[in-house]
């Protein structure tokens, strides 16, 4: 993991560095190219198994509390399982326009690490099967790879089943 220019680092990378947590990082966009925010396409560009590449979704519960869920890019969040996992009667996705003011991140660059406020984070249990998982480094085009154990050192997380049993066609 060679040191790159400081300006190439995202806040996520700086926070991981501060906590002395090792990670790999990837940049899959070149200046002037169209950015890709589709997780399956990101996995393909990185040459990675989509089951190891996780997306970060932000939701709101009935109590108005916000929750963050991380799941493989090709899976769909099961809102009932997710609500149960965080002890809410129900949850719903926040509107895209609410993402930046709430988290400090834009769609396609949302990371569970380094949000304006630390919300409860639930990671799909399959993450624990892998030595490392890959997720957004907090900027479109940037991803970090680290072990689920190290993710749990960086931020408080719980691991449980939060995806729909049957992928929707």
> Which CATH number goes with the domain that contains 108?
3.90.960.10
Structural domain range at position 106 = 6-160
pLDDT at 39: 87
Sign of the Cα torsion 94, 116, 66, 8 reads positive
pLDDT at 31: 64
From CA 113, how far away is CA 144, in angstroms rounded? Answer: 11
What are phi and psi for residue 160, nearest 5 degrees?
-160, 175
The model's pTM is 0.91
Q: pLDDT, tens digit, for every residue of 116-135?
A: 999 999 999 999 999 999 99
Number of domains present in the structure of the chain: 1
Does a structural domain hold residue 104?
A: yes
Does a structural domain hold residue 1?
A: no
């Amino acid at each position: 993991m060679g040191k790159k220019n400081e300006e190439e680092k995202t806040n996520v990378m700086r926070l991981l560095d501060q906590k002395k947590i090792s990670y790999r990082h990837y940049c899959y966009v070149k200046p002037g190219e169209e950015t890709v925010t589709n997780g399956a396409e990101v996995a393909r560009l990185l040459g990675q198994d989509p089951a190891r590449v996780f997306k970060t979704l932000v939701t709101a519960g009935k109590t108005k509390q916000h929750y963050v869920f991380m799941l493989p890019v090709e899976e769909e969040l099961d809102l009932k399982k997710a609500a149960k996992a965080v002890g809410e009667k129900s949850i719903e996705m926040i509107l895209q326009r609410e993402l930046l003011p709430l988290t400090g991140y834009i769609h396609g660059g949302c990371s569970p690490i380094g949000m304006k406020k630390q919300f409860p984070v639930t990671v799909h249990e399959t993450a624990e099967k892998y030595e490392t998982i890959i997720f957004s480094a907090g900027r479109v085009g940037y991803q970090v790879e680290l072990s689920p154990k190290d993710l749990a050192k960086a931020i408080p997380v719980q691991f449980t089943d939060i995806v729909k049993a049957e992928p929707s066609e």
